[in-house]
Structure 1
Amino acid sequence: MPVKPLSIVAGPPLAEEEGIGELTLSGWFLEVTEQFADREALVFYDEGKRVSWTYADLRDRAFEAARALIAAGVGKGTRVGILMTNRPEFLAATFGTALAGGVATTISTFSTQDELEHLVNLSCCSVLLLERQILKRDFSALMEAIEPEISNCSPGQIISETFPFLTHVAAIGEASGGIETWDDFLARGQNISDDRVLARAKLNRPSDPGVLFFSSGSTAMPKGVLSAHRGVTLQLWRFPKYYGVERTPRVWSANGFFWSGNFAMAFGGGLTKGGALVLQSTFQPEQALALMETEKANQVHAWPHQWEQLVAAPNWASVDLSEMYYVDRTSPLAAHPTIDTDWREPYATYGNTETFTFSSTFPSNTPEDVIGGSHGKPCPGNIFKIVAPLTGETVPMGERGEICVKGPTMMLGYIGIPLDETLDDEGYLRTGDGGWFDDQGRLHWEGRLNDIIKTGGANVSPLEIDAVLKKNPGIKAVQTVGIPHDTLGELVVSCIVLHDGANLDQSAVQAFAKEKLASYKVPRRVLFFAEDDLELTGSSKIKAADVKALASQRLSGET
């Protein structure tokens, strides 16, 4: 009987990949802003006023931010925290940081006070650029609550034991104590020349740290994922090919650019080919549809749970979306009577924040028989292997195991974690995901090997949720699980055993969770069980083996 080959599959050589330009963020940015200088790069509605930037405007605003950052002491590799929604200043700050030689450090706008303290400390950012008021959350107030001394400092002279590296905080919105306004911060750079900015930009190298993103994946608090310029820019050049871009894109998105997928899809899929971004700070479905109509958007980035809200919006039946083309023909949006498209998104893909999105894919409009139910073939330069989860030994082709990957978009590492604790002896990242390769070299992803919940496009750690809920004195034991859901992917469900005499309902538990957790991590459903219903361990932990089935049964019975 012939011996099966091992499950090791490589993509095409990176050197043979076409359509790749400059491999630093500053280089990519200067290339596209020069090539498309007169085209509209973005549009944004600020309190009803239409703001439009050409690529030349975007370049000027990024240089302005870079000059201010240099004046604020940003040097090679300095981390600059950027906490903003999808608005023009996010782009100016991000690419201004790259031009100045710093590392753009994107921070989630969902962050609670505890999470904000963790992220600013973990990143050791020296400058923090934030949007003060996002919905009901005042981030300047949160920073001052974490470190009251900020209120007593002068702008640009922050001295903090809580944040020992932080020297400058600037906010879009009102000034407060040591936090200066965005305009005042930009004015710091008035004596810095553009030639000095360009001189710095030219000294960026593809292997240098370029961005720091945070993964909400498998730990109680987010991990900092540090990526090189090359890894990010390879994906920016690739996304037009993934999308099969032929028409000039006009990309609507309200999903945060602080997530690597949205960053790569919007900037790569929209700007690399001279398209425009239709920016929306926070997802409001009625406003989103109006923006798509008014700005003639033809590409849309939305998570599955947002489709449902768009279809339910009061203006759904009346808007004209006839310009829309780059929207998957199987999505609810494509069913709109004014939309006529046969486009299919590159849905057969696999990737992680650690590989700055796609590491395997089939491009858009690949025939179903070619995809074969898979998640693509390795991208150029990538090598995959499938290993036995317990031993780490590579398994024969076709057998299931843990997906491992390495390649040119691989992260430089997790902040604070030695690389030899992250990669195996051959330099592969063990992803924690299960899957297998077929005999045609197609990757089949089968989900997490652990219990990570994928909900609404985000990864949620049940360990983090359980750690918060266990602090409630009324809760004896809790196990949070993901239950399959049509639009969210998985529903976050917390299964709880109460202490005798405790009086908690679902609303009370959710309110308690909201004090410490970002909104997408708060359990959508809370189910209460008697201790006899669930087998507990000696330390009052719920055994996870059957809790998911019990939760599914309970929810199914309610339906």
Structure 2
Amino acid sequence: MTDRPLSIISGPPLSEEEGLGALTLGGWLRDVTERFGPREALVLHEAGGAIRWTYDDLWDQANAVARSLLACGAGKGTRVGVLMTNRPEFLSAVFGAALAGCVATTLSTFSTAAELEHLLQSAGCSVLLLERHVLKKDFAEMVTALEPSIASAEPGGLAAPKFPFLRHIAAVGGGEGAIEDWQTFLARGQAVSHDLVTATAAAVTPADHGVLFFSSGSTAKPKGILSAHRGVTLQLWRWRRYYAAGDDVRIWSANGFFWSGNFGMAIGGALSGGGALVLQPTFQAEEALALMQAEKATMAVAWPHQWAQLEAASNWNDVDLSALKYVDARTPLGRHPTVKTTWREPMAAYGNTETFTISAIYPSGTSDKEIAGSSGKPQPGGVFKIVDPLTGVIVPMGERGEIAVKGPTLMLGYIGTPLDETLDAEGFFRTGDGGYVDQAGRLYWEGRLNDIIKTGGANVSPIEIDTILKQCPGVKVTQTVGVPHDTLGELVVACIVPHAGATLDEERVRAFAKEELASYKVPRRVLFFTEEEVQLTGSAKIKTADLKASVVKRLELEA
């Protein structure tokens, strides 16, 4: 027994939080439009010129989508898939779905055909709004290949056993068969009154289902994470406070809004305070720098591997980035010769998709002394406890264990999984992350307790990768691991024992993986081992720690 206090820390009461507005997505958009209506909300450069929307334009476009969804028969709780990059229609689709009482279901444009099939079947979308052409992918062709009846069905008349709830598909970039082009879809709503949209939006409560995002976890397939309107909008309002930035924020980002962190950081950070989004649908370093210069971006939201690519871009020494104000001097952009900055990025933070991004943080401007190397303090209404990973018992203050969290942004649950199988008896979500708390109320995150790989800002499941690689001809044993990397956080490495006599090389295995896996999940390196080199436990499982050490040694020898 010990007399030390237990490892439980809490944020201030939610009722005391300042700077909040409406706590539904439709209400949030109405609030920011009323405050900043004629100001520029977003800009997208594409062939033919730049698209610029004011807050008023975004409101009008979101209402147009809402009217069309209602015309399609969508109602409260209807799931609307949004398969798009960072473009204006992504925002009008998500907020239009909210205004119509629907649940915006964001789908990654990195998805392969197999991954998209899983997402659509799991989500049970009734409407799918997609961007047809993304790099070399044609998502209209992809969904039609998954369900051939889409090619012959009439728009609105889809009845496909593979996707039994799916009735309507519309595409930015042109449609065919059951897939309507975007303007035809919007024309559906012209007969629906604005008053009906006003009524549907007013019928939505902060406790209602708001969004469905997907995140890879400890299983082989991405998990659907359902969040209430309140959880999402709290974070949208909070990012303005986290950044401690003014209304001159113009945020460049190419990171997909279909991931919760990018959604909250960029959309909330820019639009909650009257700023603007400089949109780049897919990341390309030279283009990104040119966009920042042309649009006088004042902030950049990027992951570490993108920082390195920006610094290595061919036009790095030629661009004028002097407008950048809210960039940290510790980043490459902050060190650019044209940039003068004293702003500090709020790097002391912790969060999960299950809490719709941040649950502990210190905002920009906090001193290093106060941060003390921590991951921040709980946000209003939030509670953390540190538990023994095996027993679930709360450990004494300062002891290491598993981080568990609950609070007003906590998910409503994983789709298809009973809530009592996800939360403990006290309503806490056990994160699978290790760490501890101190008596000053600070949280310290120390990494994953399981083997999830965090690479380039995304979570990658080794189980998912190994499930695919086991199907590669010539592969006898495969174990994917993550090892430390300067810019990616962790490098995804597949460790393979080939069958006797098999002819395998690194590029052949990577090419096989690319057929089934999103690009960020494809192993950056493939290393080959003999069975003697792979240490097994008594239950015939590979000793991951020993394997990681071997990988690190090999990579060091190659360097």
Q: Which TM-score band (shorter chain)?
A: over 0.9
Map of 2:474 onto structure 1: 474
Q: Does 1:205 align with 2:205?
A: yes
State the alpha-carbon separation in 1 of the partners of residues 91 and 409 from structure 2: 22
Map of 2:415 onto structure 1: 415
Q: Does 1:453 align with 2:453?
A: yes
State the alpha-carbon separation in 1 of the partners of residues 365 and 552 from structure 2: 35
1:555 shift after superposition: 0.7
State the alpha-carbon separation in 2 of the partners of residues 234 and 534 from structure 1: 48
State the alpha-carbon separation in 2 of the partners of residues 144 and 442 from structure 1: 50
Partner-residue secondary structure (3-state), 1:64: helix
State the alpha-carbon separation in 2 of the partners of residues 469 and 99 from structure 1: 43
Cα-to-partner distance string for 1:180-212 (whole Å, 9 max, x where unaligned): 101111111110011110111011100000000
TM-score when scaled to structure 2? Answer: 0.99
Partner-residue secondary structure (3-state), 1:363: coil
Cα-to-partner distance string for 1:270-316 (whole Å, 9 max, x where unaligned): 00111110001100111110110010000110100001111111111
Cα-to-partner distance string for 1:305-351 (whole Å, 9 max, x where unaligned): 00111111111111111110111110011111110001111110000
Map of 2:235 onto structure 1: 235
Cα-to-partner distance string for 1:406-455 (whole Å, 9 max, x where unaligned): 00000000000000000000000000000000121110000000011000
1:35 shift after superposition: 1.2
1:46 shift after superposition: 2.1
Map of 2:155 onto structure 1: 155
Map of 1:34 onto structure 2: 34
Cα-to-partner distance string for 1:508-557 (whole Å, 9 max, x where unaligned): 00000011100000000000011111134688653324101111111111
Partner-residue secondary structure (3-state), 1:327: coil
Map of 1:373 onto structure 2: 373
Structure 2: gaps of 5 or more residues: none
Partner-residue secondary structure (3-state), 1:477: strand
Partner-residue secondary structure (3-state), 2:465: helix
Map of 1:91 onto structure 2: 91
Q: Is the 8 A contact 1:478 1:542 kept in 2?
A: no
Cα-to-partner distance string for 1:86-126 (whole Å, 9 max, x where unaligned): 00000110100000000000000000111101111111010
Letter of the 1:188 counterpart: R
State the alpha-carbon separation in 2 of the partners of residues 260 and 45 from structure 1: 24
State the alpha-carbon separation in 2 of the partners of residues 9 and 539 from structure 1: 39
1:361-400 to 2 correspondences below 5 Å: 361-400=361-400
Map of 1:404 onto structure 2: 404
Map of 1:272 onto structure 2: 272
Q: Is the 8 A contact 1:105 1:213 kept in 2?
A: yes
Q: Is the 8 A contact 1:477 1:540 kept in 2?
A: no
Map of 1:69 onto structure 2: 69
State the alpha-carbon separation in 2 of the partners of residues 191 and 174 from structure 1: 22
Partner-residue secondary structure (3-state), 1:487: coil
State the alpha-carbon separation in 1 of the partners of residues 329 and 246 from structure 2: 17
Map of 2:249 onto structure 1: 249
Map of 1:108 onto structure 2: 108
Partner-residue secondary structure (3-state), 1:360: strand
State the alpha-carbon separation in 1 of the partners of residues 136 and 379 from structure 2: 41
State the alpha-carbon separation in 2 of the partners of residues 130 and 243 from structure 1: 31
Partner-residue secondary structure (3-state), 2:416: coil
Answer with 423-432 or 307-316: which moved more.
307-316
Q: Is the 8 A contact 1:477 1:542 kept in 2?
A: no
State the alpha-carbon separation in 1 of the partners of residues 540 and 178 from structure 2: 46
Partner-residue secondary structure (3-state), 2:497: strand
Q: Is the 8 A contact 1:225 1:353 kept in 2?
A: yes
Q: Does 1:57 align with 2:22?
A: no
Partner-residue secondary structure (3-state), 2:532: helix
Map of 1:433 onto structure 2: 433
Structure 1: gaps of 5 or more residues: none
State the alpha-carbon separation in 2 of the partners of residues 545 and 315 from structure 1: 41
State the alpha-carbon separation in 2 of the partners of residues 245 and 272 from structure 1: 11
State the alpha-carbon separation in 2 of the partners of residues 451 and 27 from structure 1: 40
Partner-residue secondary structure (3-state), 1:490: strand
Count, aligned residues: 559
State the alpha-carbon separation in 1 of the partners of residues 18 and 363 from structure 2: 15
Cα-to-partner distance string for 1:129-160 (whole Å, 9 max, x where unaligned): 00011001111111011111111101111110
Cα-to-partner distance string for 1:351-397 (whole Å, 9 max, x where unaligned): 00000000001001211010000000100000110000000000000
State the alpha-carbon separation in 1 of the partners of residues 456 and 58 from structure 2: 31
State the alpha-carbon separation in 2 of the partners of residues 545 and 294 from structure 1: 48
Q: Is the 8 A contact 2:246 2:273 kept in 1?
A: no
Letter of the 1:493 counterpart: V
Q: Does 1:531 align with 2:522?
A: no
1:247 shift after superposition: 4.5
Cα-to-partner distance string for 1:42-81 (whole Å, 9 max, x where unaligned): 1111214111111111111111111111001110010000
Partner-residue secondary structure (3-state), 1:523: coil
Q: Is the 8 A contact 2:83 2:129 kept in 1?
A: yes
State the alpha-carbon separation in 1 of the partners of residues 219 and 97 from structure 2: 28
Q: Does 1:141 align with 2:135?
A: no
Partner-residue secondary structure (3-state), 1:232: helix
State the alpha-carbon separation in 1 of the partners of residues 282 and 239 from structure 2: 24
State the alpha-carbon separation in 1 of the partners of residues 214 and 446 from structure 2: 24
Map of 1:124 onto structure 2: 124
Answer with 372-381 or 244-253: which moved more.
244-253
1:174 shift after superposition: 2.3
1:230-379 to 2 correspondences below 5 Å: 230-379=230-379
Map of 1:509 onto structure 2: 509
Q: Is the 8 A contact 2:37 2:55 kept in 1?
A: yes
Partner-residue secondary structure (3-state), 2:398: coil
Letter of the 1:323 counterpart: A
State the alpha-carbon separation in 1 of the partners of residues 252 and 549 from structure 2: 39
Partner-residue secondary structure (3-state), 1:190: helix
Map of 1:184 onto structure 2: 184
Partner-residue secondary structure (3-state), 2:392: coil
Q: Is the 8 A contact 1:478 1:541 kept in 2?
A: no
State the alpha-carbon separation in 1 of the partners of residues 167 and 211 from structure 2: 20
Residues 485/36 of structure 1: CA separation in 2 closer, same or farther (3 Å cut): same
Partner-residue secondary structure (3-state), 1:9: strand
State the alpha-carbon separation in 1 of the partners of residues 545 and 44 from structure 2: 49
State the alpha-carbon separation in 1 of the partners of residues 94 and 114 from structure 2: 24
Residues 74/327 of structure 1: CA separation in 2 closer, same or farther (3 Å cut): same
